[in-house]
Structure 1
Amino acid sequence: MKIHLSSVFVNDQAQALRFYTEVLGFQAKNDVPVGEDRWLTVVSPADPDGTELLLEPSGHPAVKPFRDALVADGIPYTSFAVDDVRAEFERLRGLGVRFTQEPVEMGPVTVAVFDDTCGNLIQIAHTA
């Protein structure tokens, strides 16, 4: 068994697609109209056949209180692996990304947390 698809709730799919592709560097994989929304996924360009991230509309009534609670407590919705957290922090900060936690070493793991502009906190991490 392996993870094929994961999702992140987004307020605006078009804005999310721009952020996740143009800023974070993912590439669009699927963009299929589904009523007023889209089945919109992105993947890592390093693994285009790997795990897809669904940019899922946040319209369900349970999403807002769930995400608001996570953000209020500073809890990332998900985590992305990077080769070097400090280098990625500098690259993203240079592109205007707002970090809620600068890089922190926690034993063999270094993490940082940013606001994805779509209602979520996202963690980036690498293991030394």
Structure 2
Amino acid sequence: MPRIEYEPKLDFKDVLLRPKRSTLKSRADVDLVRDYVFRNSKKQYSGIPVIASNMDTVGTFEMAQALCPHKVFTAIHKHYTLEEWKEFYAGFKETPMFSHVAVSSGISDRDFEKVRVSFEDRD
């Protein structure tokens, strides 16, 4: 039997988010880039902490090309073939594109092998 809840519930129209005071004169002055040092590897990352999802309509090579100049991370979906990865990489060998790209993969040995082979030549 369904249970009726009587407590009040909040909706988006019930909540007001007020921004903090700012000394910036314009929104154009905002810098979203953040620097991170990862605790275990001690590697550094500098970029905007937003990730385009690895869904097959969002995490595409085209999205990575569009977001990379803005230092936004793209998680590439797992459905690209090895040949498509090699072609993508060949076009951007001289640019820092891959510091803003993550690779998605399945859990099978075949998926792991595809990821390993596709990035052998990168380093």
Global fold match (TM > 0.5): no
TM-score, length-scaled by structure 2: 0.25
Greater RCO between the two (CA within 8 Å, min separation 6)? 1
Larger Rg: 2
TM-score, length-scaled by structure 1: 0.24
| Larger helix fraction of residues | 2
| Larger strand fraction of residues | 1
